[in-house]
Amino acid sequence: MILSEINFAVLVASLIVASTPLVLAALGELVVEKSGVLNLGVEGMMIIGAVTGFIVGVETGSAYIGMMAAAMAGALLSLLFAFIILIMQANQVASGLALTIFGLGIAALMGHPYTGIKSPQISTLSIPFISEIPVLGTMFFQHDLIVYLSLISVLVIWYFLNRMRAGLILRSVGEDHDVAHSLGYRVVTIRFLAITFGGAMAGVGGGYLSLVRVPQWTEGMTAGAGWIALALVVFSGWRPFRLLIGSYIFGGITILQLNLQAIGVNINIALLSMAPYLATILALVVISMSRFRGNRGAPGCLGRSFVKIT
């Protein structure tokens, strides 16, 4: 069997690396959506993160500084979105699309002189002792800091949303902003913060893409990753752990597809490249067909503008 040419442990390790940008961006979007805002600009924020992270990484020689810059760039772009939808009351779907178009354009402009350069190396942080376990160690414990950070974020966000008062307030704002407002919660401020957080997470996700995953800058390199992150949030039913599993399944399909291309399986490359996108559609269909029918977990006010009329 030709599949035996693929080393399973290495495959899982690279799956985790491939999924990390998705985990980060989708987690950010999950928090944003829980606050009742649908930000379709994830793709735009990711690519801005990717290009900023790459440029700063190359200029400073440090991938971590690059990653921080990526977070800031994503957050900055998301502020624009926040202003337009929260203050100017614009349609969220259209504004998110605008953010993506704008982000892709800005990124192409910024990144042009940096095409074809190699990014600085990111050091892997092998966890002592357990990283030496054969197979399992290679799979899970020989990664860079960002991978561990993404896993910790899943935990933290789950805890925040389900066990903390602040998380409850955020969810109530997303569930019914009028009620939350009359209880005295500051809907606009809370959504501003959530959107900024989502932007930063998408930015880091993008930065990880250009600094670690690829690692290079090419125009339009996110190639729909932001949209897939959006789909993953729906797929997860707005639950952080299911989101992580979803991302890994997804990363698995991508990696398998790339590996099959590399070992020259007799399937057309174009057909293999379609796989992740078709899988997304399939996943969305399955999730809405299953017994978790409908959008259970979808915040009640998702995508609706909040106007304070008193």
Partner 1 sequence: MFKLIPRENVSPVLSLLGPLFSVGLTMIVGGILFYFLGVDPFAAIKMIFWDPLMSETFSTYSIPQIFIKGAPLILIALGLSVGFKANVWNIGAEGQYIMGAIFGASFALSLYPLESIVIFPAMILIGVIGGCLWSMIPAFLKVKFQVNEILVSLMLVYVAEQILALASLGFLRNPDGAGFPGSRNLNQYTSASNAEIIAGTGIHLGVLLSLLMVIFFYVLLFRHSLGFKIKLLGNSPKASGFSGDNPNKLIFLCLTLSGSLAGLAGIMEVAGPAGQINIDFNVGYGFTAIIVAFLGRLNPIGIFFAGIVMALTYVGGELTQFMLNLPAAAIQVFQGMLLFFLLSFDLFVHYKIKLKGNK
Whether residue 244 contacts residue 154, with contact meaning beta carbons closer than 8 Å, is answered with: yes
Distance CA 308, CA 57 (A): 43
Distance between CA 50 and CA 198 in Å, rounded? 15
Closest CA to 280 of 241, 244, 242, 231: 231
- Least Å from the CB of residue 12 to partner 1: 25
Task: Return the number of the residue (153 or 259) whose C-beta is nearest partner 1.
Answer: 259
- Smallest distance, partner 1 to C-beta of residue 49, A: 17
Q: Is 218 in the site for partner 1 (CB under 8 A)?
A: no
Which of 76, 125, 193, 223 touches partner 1 by CB under 8 A? Answer: 223
Q: Which of 114, 7, 4 is nearest to 58 (CA)?
A: 114
For the segment 39-98, give every residue that binds partner 1 (CB under 8 A): 40, 80, 84, 88-91, 93-95, 97-98
- Residues contacting 193, CB < 8 A, separation 6+: none
Return the residue of 103, 203, 251, 299 that touches partner 1, per CB under 8 A. 103
- Stated as kind and residue range, the H or E segment containing 149 is helix 145-163
- Name the residue nearer to partner 1 (CB basis): 166 or 186: 186
Residue 82's SS3 state is helix
The reply to whether 285 sits near partner 1 by the rule CB under 8 A is yes
Nearest CB to partner 1, comparing residues 112 and 186: 112
- Binding partner 1 (rule: CB under 8 A), the pick from 215, 273, 297, 304 is 273
Give residues in contact with partner 1 (CB under 8 A): 40, 80, 84, 88-91, 93-95, 97-99, 101-109, 112, 219, 223-224, 227-228, 230-231, 234, 268, 270-271, 273-274, 277-278, 280-281, 284-285, 288-289, 294-295, 307-309
